[in-house]
């Protein structure tokens, strides 16, 4: 069970990192950033998402693990995506 949870969390982090990586060229162009700033965005997004997943996992140890996993993964993704909502004009 623990291996499945770790594999799911890793898959979520890799998927989110891919999404941010694919969107970086348009963010660089729209926000007029240089490469260093884009690297910071990519790194910080992954760190914040991983921290939220670990926090949700720690909170989940006190509750039923099966009931906590969908809530933890969904809320972590939502919390990490909040700064990008609502989309700006022209998107």
Q: What is the pLDDT along the chain (91 residues), one digit of tens a residue?
A: 778 877 887 887 788 888 888 888 998 999 898 989 888 888 888 888 878 878 877 776 776 656 666 666 666 666 666 665 555 565 5
Q: What is the per-residue burial (b if ≥16 Cβ within 10 Å, else e) of 20-41?
A: beeebeebeeeeeeeeeebeeb
What is this structure's pTM? 0.53
Other Cβ atoms less than 10 A from the Cβ of 50: the count is: 17
Question: Is 3 exposed, middle or buried, given 0-12, 13-18 or 19+ CB atoms closer than 10 A?
Answer: exposed
């Amino acid at each position: 069970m623990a291996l499945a949870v770790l594999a799911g969390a890793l898959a979520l982090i890799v998927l989110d990192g891919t999404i941010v990586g694919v969107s970086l060229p348009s963010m660089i162009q729209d926000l007029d950033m240089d490469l260093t700033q884009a690297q910071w965005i990519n790194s910080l997004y992954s760190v914040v998402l991983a921290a939220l997943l670990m926090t949700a996992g720690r909170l989940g140890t006190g509750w039923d693990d099966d009931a906590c996993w969908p809530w933890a993964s969904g809320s972590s993704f939502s919390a990490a995506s909040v700064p990008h909502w609502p989309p700006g004009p022209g998107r």
